[in-house]
Amino acid sequence: MKITLDLPEHTVDPSDGYNDPYYDPGVCGNCGYEKSGTMAKLVPYGWVHTEPPHEGEKSCLQAIVDNLPQIGASAAWLVVGQHVARYPSRHSASTIRSVITELLKPAWKVRKEAGR
Ligand SMILES: [Zn+2]
């Protein structure tokens, strides 16, 4: 199954804070470094870099996505679910339905084990 997440994006413009000594663009939710370039918001991580720090390296967003299978299917679905729940209007009904179905699977399993 393939789910496309529509992530809010914003591009950090350093000239915004050029004259402000207290300018603080905030930090990336993955690496903790200052935001720069195009940032995408993935709940629950927050704003993360979409551009690799150096050529040939992974962006923070790519690193998170690549790591999802390793954190386990239900944890990964929880990430997707939190994101879709926060921005439901950005996702198709079929995406939302698939996410809900996946999120409910652990509950079904518990019920089956309980013999109901
Ligand atoms: Zn980062």
Residue 4 lies in a domain: no
Residue 102 lies in a domain: yes
Q: Find the distance separating the first CA and the last CA of the chain, reported in whole Å.
A: 28
- Domain membership of residue 2 (yes or no) is no
Task: Return the structure tokens found at 94.
Answer: 């079929």
In a domain, 25, yes or no: yes
Domain count, the chain: 1
Tokens standing for 14? 């350093």
Average pLDDT over residues 45-66: 94
Q: Report residue 17's pLDDT band, with 50, 70 and 90 as the boundaries.
A: low
Q: What percent of the chain has pLDDT over 70?
A: 91
Residue-averaged pLDDT of the chain: 87
- The secondary structure of the chain in percent helix, strand, coil, rounded to multiples of 5, reads 45, 10, 40
Q: Does the residue 57 lie in any domain?
A: yes
Mean pLDDT of 57-85: 89
Separation of CA 58 and ligand 1 centre (Å): 10
Per-residue pLDDT at 14 = 72
Q: What is the DSSP letter of 19?
A: T
Closest CA relative to residue 47, chosen from 7, 80, 13, 78: 7
In a domain, 3, yes or no: no
Cα 8 to ligand 1 centroid, rounded to whole Å: 16
Give the residue, 18 or 59, on which the prediction is more confident.
59
Instruction: List the domain range (segments joined by +) for residue 22.
Output: 9-113
